[in-house]
A = this chain, B = another copy of it.
Amino acid sequence: MASVSAAESLQEEVAQQKALLRDLQNQKADAALIEEAKKKLADLQKSFGLLQSAMKAGGSTKKGRLLLKTPKGTRDYGPSEMHCREFIERTVKDCFTTYGGGCLDTPVFERKDILAGKYGEDAKLIFDLMDQGGEQLALRYDHTVPLARYLAMNGAQATQAKLWQVGKVYRRDNPVISKGRMREFSQADFDIAGIWDVMIPDAELISLLCTILSKLDVGEFTVKINHRKILDGIFEVCGVPADKIRTISSAVDKLDKSPWSEVKHEMTETKGLDPAVADRIGEYVKHKGGPELLETLKADAALMANPSAKAGIEEMAILFGYLKSYKPKKKAKKAQTGQDEEDEEIDESTVGVGSIAAGGRYDNLVGMFTAAAAGESKKAAQLPCVGVSIGLDRVFAIVWPRWVSKGMRSKETMAYVMSAGDGLLNERVELAQELRANGIKVSGTWFSLCSAALANSRGQTDFLFKAKPKLPAQFAAGERDEVPFAIILGETELKEGLVTVKEQYWELVDGKKQKIESADKGVKVKRADLVQWLKDRPIMKDWDSGRFL
């Protein structure tokens, strides 16, 4: 039994890995990535083969083999990948604090009744915990509902909050690993609560999003902005019956992925909309553009006669006005999208992997919680909110292949202490500890774009955990981490107060990392001056300026 389900599980993994490989090949991804994917596929197929022959041999194995894998739709991130992910996370967090946000951390699971009724038909994707006596719990689906629960619980203190959250959320969705769509994934949210003047928080969030995406260097991106009031106005003007507005709105949402003909078919055939009405909608949703599109809409007398559309268009003009002061890096394009819980405005950024960020208003959610907690008879105060959420796995899916192709280092270790003599373990330990404790102060442009996120300490030092290691083994260990300074201790030299330092660095030559080193046997440096000497080396300064990132 156990091994049958193991075999099924493994078969599925093989299929997934095949799909990933196909995707990578179609995308003409980096050769190293494709190699890695091929290797993993071969490993999986080998395991599957072994398992099948084992099952055949024994009819079915008596004792199922343990299947060594992470759960479906999840994965481990090893040191090289985490080096990149930590960079992404720190960059995002730094932007969040720069924009005046405070951090919030909520539990990874919530009481089931907190999540209930918030996600429409997607509720089936919620991971429930087993009822083990006590509360009914489920893993959080996003950061928005936990935040709203927190705001409802701490209403009085949080009426004017800028809060950010970075953490994992969970959905029992069909994973597409190559696109960064996982069952466990990391989201970075920034939310603004409170009653503020119209469009100011919205502009702040769009600016924040553009700043982050630019700093992360995800490449070209488009921020699509929608105003629910305009969309509602369009539907009214086109003659959509009131009871169909919601369902037609969700059809329009699909325009991002499907052509108009399909969307129209859904409207008229599946949802019973009059084809003439659908055609009128078709005219409006064809529009695409920036602030200049507002002029086209303003010239549309029928639309401007509709109070909702008029208000929406005026507010959008205010937003574009503010965005000029923010000087966002990219021009914003207008488009219509929408989500169940959000009711005024959605912005969404799309890149090769699909959209990597989305956001919008949820003006009623906190009030819903407050009212439900107070009992049905009471009216609770509303707390309007607007927020944006960045999918960190999708960002990683864009940034990581670039790191690989640039040959980025995967570790920060700066010095590797070795001995040429008789072990000298105590001497190696003492020097490693001295370097670690002293660190090396950053003298350069630590606030520069990239290095800020990683410029934490420069004392990273390692040595081999052997009492009497051979020199080549020590060099090999240091080279594995591409450590720029090999510091070699020798008995005679130490008595003279000297150590030998050999500088080395790696460059990508024809897609392969190649070590560049000086022809000499290294430089002799006074042991007492070593910390300062290291600080003054160009390699150390280069690192500070982001060169080794």
Contacts and interface: CB of A to CB of B under 8 A. Distances in A.
Nearest to A161: B79
Contact of A372 (B66, B127, B192): B66
Interface string A31-71: 00000000000000000000000100000010101111111
A72 B467 contact: no
Nearest to A196: B465
Contact of A465 (B98, B201, B441, B461): B201
B9 A135 contact: yes
Interface stretch (A300-308, A428-436, A507-515): A428-436
A543 to B, nearest CB: 13
Contacts of A501: none
A384 B74 CA distance: 27
Interface in A88-144: 90, 93-94, 97-100, 102-111, 113-114, 127-132, 134-135, 137, 139
Contacts of A410: 102
**How many monomers of this protein are in the complex?**
2
Interface of A: 2, 9, 54, 61, 63, 65-72, 74-80, 82-83, 85-86, 90, 93-94, 97-100, 102-111, 113-114, 127-132, 134-135, 137, 139, 149-150, 152-154, 160-163, 168, 172, 184, 192, 194, 196-197, 200-201, 203-204, 207, 211, 321-322, 324-327, 369, 372-376, 410-413, 425-427, 429-430, 433, 436, 439-442, 445-447, 452-453, 456-462, 465-467, 477, 481
A80 B375 CA distance: 31
Given A100-B413, A129-B130, A460-B100, A373 B66 contact: yes
Contacts of A97: 412-413, 456-457, 460
Contacts of A82: 102-105
Contacts of A204: 465
B326 A429 contact: yes
Contacts of A108: 108, 168, 184
Contacts of A412: 97
